Amino acid sequence: MKEKKYVEKTYPVTGMHCAACAANVEKMLLRVDGVRSASVNLAAATVRVAYAADVTPETLMGQLAKAGFGLIVEEEDAAERQLRAERAYLRDVARRCVVAWACAVPVFLLSMVFAGAAPAWVVAVLSLPVVLWAAVPYYRGAWQMLKLRSSNMDTLVAVSVLVAFVFSLSGTLLPGFWLGHGLEPPCHYEAATMITAFVLTGKLLEERAKHRTGEAIRALMGLQPRTARVVLPDGTEAERPLAVLQAGDLVRVRPGEQIAVDGRVSEGHSSVNESMVSGEPLSVEKTTGAPVLAGTLNERGTLLVRAEKVGAATVLAGIVDAVKRAQGSKAPVQRIVDRVTAVFVPVVLSLALLTLIVWVAVGGMDALPRGILCAVSVTVIACPCALGLATPTALAVGVGMGARHHIFVKDAAALEQLRHTDTVVLDKTGTITVGEPRVRFHRAEEGYDAAAAAVLLAMERASEHPTAAAVAAFARETAGEAPVCIDAFESLPGMGVQATADGRSFWAGNDKMAASHGVSLATPPAAEGLTLTGFGCEGRLLLTLGIGDEIKAGSAEAVARLHEMGCRVVIATGDNAGAAAAVACRVGADEVMASALPADKENAVRCMQADGHHVAMVGDGINDSQALAAADVSIAMGRGTDVARSVAQATLMSSDLRLLPAAIRLSRLTVRTIRRNLVWACAYNAAAIPLAAGALYPLWGLTLTPAVSAAAMALSSVSVVTGSLLLGRKKLGTEA
């Protein structure tokens, strides 16, 4: 018997907006005969499916269409189509939210504040746009969950809205029925409209945050150029799309262009900015035989590159894939309220039904109106307003509080997870340090004066070396105002520069350049971990410079605060071991990982997690994106790359590392408030449900009408909002 051949592909999914949607997509696909596995990446809105070769993508698309989801199987412009669908959904939620509030406010005023000022049918008409249009997505969601024999927040919203509206409509259209049984005709349209308005507001905020998260991968993919200039066999050049490039092709890269392939320099000399991979600000000199990577920036000279890896095989493509894989491998973050409603929703619905049954069973059909009244009261008093507000109001206050302290938090996951952090991994350059090369050590010898400094300044201005700007800035402080004319300027790749002035030969460069002039560049203790540059005249050394990055003010204090909070601090950097160790010593870090590539940082984070640690990763560059995506909590520095900020769940806007312990404190306060809100909302409603069900009616004739239930519901919501507002009066204690 032949073994089945399986195809494994990733497809964009439309109409998927929550963890329940993701679970539904997987379940529906796994029902297709021939589908071996289906794994949803909610952050990227994609699904990776392994299916038999005889299963067509159109079959998968048709299966998902039954559940209301779309599958984009055409590869051409798939990302653009998915982005358009996401934006269209966001606009739709925004429109529904606006309409809901525009109708809910007058309905509330006419029902609660100016009761009796307008006929009931006017209030009913005002409620129709909310019930028949704005709340429709929740009806669909509840129907999908019903088909899967489950329930979620959509279920409770849909039931609460429909029951409150239909019940009120019966009072408006059939007032005689209620009056004939000695009851006031119900009119509680405000419950239906306000429920919808509140939950749509929360949904809008959630979708905006989710849309920003997807920008991370789109930004990464945008780093690679769409075309490359290929040198053809006859010596001519032509622009070719990346899709047709092959290993072995010769690609010309001009100054200011991004390199399109991984390969080696076949001809030319230039400086290449590789900060997206190494994270280091110093550009790297490239000569014949040197390796180059796709997505890096060629700064000055023209290079001829022999392609070794193209397309999906490049390091940049690997980073994109790793970010997607890391985001998808984490279980979708369930909001705390979802976990509560998983139990609360079916219990409430069961109690409402049980209330009706008991009333009819005890009092017969004459008790049916009273039973309906009590059942509706149970549903209304347990409506999700307080539950729905418990999380977003605390988050809104917490996010606002963070913003005042220059801490930007994107979603609930960061606030939920950050408080557990016991290990903090810090990138060095741009996170602990400033991220710009500067002269941090100098030792002048006899003969280094204003005239010599002027020569050095002129030479460095003409140089293309990555450290030239830092050396020139130092020389400018000593050089005189008189212009200096240098002759026979020559740049020696991998060594430095040399020139003549006033008949004397000057040179500036590394230890190789110094050795060629018979001079040794010894590293003084004060220059440990720095890049040494020498400047001399013929066989004499005039100046020794140590060039490196400067540690930010407050970095050492931030590490000390993290230690006080029980966190272990690890530095992971692409810089050399000496420079990394020097920085770690100065700030007091516990461990150092030097010469780390993006994949090394990700692996380190995963190893720490495997050892049971809860890891927060802090970085500012594209090279940190893999580790940021893999960490339990990802934090970017405000002056970092757009990609790092997009991947990260939180951003320290002022790039002051002292904000990190403040963010942990903010997390603890916010989650504590959310939990207190949820406990209060559930306990309050749970205590009121027996009253609404009529438990005290046989004893004292007391029960809660839907109107009183709606008021109790509103009081519960006010209590939750008040509790959240009190969070804003707390002090972070570790603010910068």
Q: Is residue 317's pLDDT more than 80?
A: no
Residue-wise pLDDT tens digits, 7-31: 888 888 887 766 567 777 888 899 8
The predicted pLDDT at position 328 comes to 46
Which phi and psi (to 5°) does residue 180 adopt? Answer: -65, -25
Q: Annotated catalytic residue: which of 262, 427, 624, 632?
A: 427
Mean model confidence pLDDT for the chain: 79
d(CA 459, CA 504): 13
Q: Where are the alpha helices (DSSP H) in 565-597?
A: 577-587
With beta carbons less than 8 A apart as the criterion, state whether 645 and 651 touch: yes
Q: Is residue 333's pLDDT more than 50?
A: no
Which phi and psi (to 5°) does residue 334 adopt? Answer: -90, 125
User: Mean pLDDT, to the nearest integer, of 537-548?
Assistant: 89
Neighbours of 434 (CB within 10 A): 17
Closest Cα partner for 312 from 575, 529, 10?
10
With beta carbons less than 8 A apart as the criterion, state whether 21 and 45 touch: no
Task: Give the pLDDT band (50/70/90) at residue 559.
Answer: very high
* Sequence-ordered strand ranges (E) for 141-288: 227-231, 237-241, 250-253, 262-268, 270-273, 284-286
With beta carbons less than 8 A apart as the criterion, state whether 251 and 293 touch: no
d(CA 453, CA 442): 13
User: Mean pLDDT, to the nearest integer, of 333-341?
Assistant: 50
The predicted pLDDT at position 670 comes to 81
Which phi and psi (to 5°) does residue 167 adopt? Answer: -60, -45
Q: Is residue 628's pLDDT more than 90?
A: no
Tokens matching residue 206: 């959630």
- How many angstroms from the chain centroid is the CA of residue 238? 39
Calculate what percentage of the chain has a pLDDT beyond 90: 13
Radius of gyration of the chain from its Cα atoms, rounded to whole angstroms: 33
Report which of residues 324 and 430 the model is more confident about: 430
Q: Is residue 213's pLDDT more than 70?
A: no
With beta carbons less than 8 A apart as the criterion, state whether 567 and 591 touch: no
Is 427 catalytic? The answer is yes
Report which of residues 309 and 368 the model is more confident about: 309
Task: Give the pLDDT band (50/70/90) at residue 736.
Answer: very low
The predicted pLDDT at position 464 comes to 67
Report which of residues 458 and 374 the model is more confident about: 458
Q: Is residue 305's pLDDT more than 90?
A: yes
Tokens matching residue 165: 């509206």
Residue-wise pLDDT tens digits, 127-175: 999 999 999 988 987 887 777 676 666 777 788 788 878 888 988 888 8
CA angle 231, 233, 238 (to 5 degrees): 35
Which phi and psi (to 5°) does residue 528 adopt? Answer: -60, 135
Contacts of 689 (CB under 8 A, 6+ apart): 348, 351, 378, 381, 382
d(CA 721, CA 601): 41
Which pairs count as long-range contacts for 202-208, CB under 8 Å and 24+ apart, including other chains?
202/388, 202/389, 202/391, 202/392, 203/93, 203/97, 204/90, 204/93, 204/94, 204/97, 205/392, 205/396, 207/17, 207/89, 207/90, 207/93, 208/90
User: Mean pLDDT, to the nearest integer, of 581-598?
Assistant: 87
Instruction: Name the least confident of 161-175, 178-192, 209-223, 628-642.
Output: 209-223
Instruction: Name the least confident of 234-243, 275-284, 396-405.
Output: 275-284
d(CA 352, CA 693): 8
- Amino acid in the structure at residue 27: K
With beta carbons less than 8 A apart as the criterion, state whether 240 and 284 touch: no
Between β-strands 227-231 and 291-292, what pairing exists: parallel, antiparallel or unpaired?
unpaired
d(CA 433, CA 180): 79
User: Mean pLDDT, to the nearest integer, of 417-435?
Assistant: 85
The predicted pLDDT at position 713 comes to 62
> What residues are paired with 239 via a beta bridge?
229
The predicted pLDDT at position 562 comes to 92
d(CA 516, CA 686): 85
Q: In the chain, what is the greatest distance between 2 CA atoms, to the nearest angstrom?
A: 117
Domains and CATH numbers, the chain: 6-73 (3.30.70.100), 227-313 (2.70.150.10), 407-429+552-664 (3.40.50.1000), 434-550 (3.40.1110.10)
Closest Cα partner for 536 from 584, 504, 493?
504
The predicted pLDDT at position 560 comes to 92
- Give the total residue count for the chain: 736
Q: Is residue 566's pLDDT more than 50?
A: yes
Cα 319 to Cα 211, 246, 531, 571, distances in angstroms? 20, 20, 29, 20
d(CA 275, CA 497): 24
Contacts of 577 (CB under 8 A, 6+ apart): 592, 594, 595
User: Mean pLDDT, to the nearest integer, of 459-485?
Assistant: 79
Confirm whether pTM is higher than 0.75. Answer: no
Expressed in percent and rounded to 5, the helix, strand and coil fractions of the chain are 55, 20, 25
Q: Which of 200-204, 240-244, 705-709 has the highest mean pLDDT?
A: 240-244
User: Mean pLDDT, to the nearest integer, of 651-675?
Assistant: 83
> What residues are paired with 50 via a beta bridge?
8, 37
Q: Is residue 556's pLDDT more than 70?
A: yes
Tokens matching residue 617: 């990763």
Task: Give the pLDDT band (50/70/90) at residue 263.
Answer: very high
Contacts of 671 (CB under 8 A, 6+ apart): 415, 416, 419
- How many angstroms from the chain centroid is the CA of residue 34? 35
Instruction: Name the least confident of 170-179, 254-263, 305-314, 644-653.
Output: 644-653
User: Mean pLDDT, to the nearest integer, of 694-704?
Assistant: 70
Instruction: Name the least confident of 200-214, 283-297, 463-477, 630-644.
Output: 200-214
The predicted pLDDT at position 329 comes to 42
Report which of residues 681 and 422 the model is more confident about: 422
The predicted pLDDT at position 703 comes to 67
d(CA 21, CA 76): 25
Is the sign of the CA dihedral 392, 393, 394, 398 positive or negative?
positive
With beta carbons less than 8 A apart as the criterion, state whether 666 and 402 touch: yes
The predicted pLDDT at position 346 comes to 77
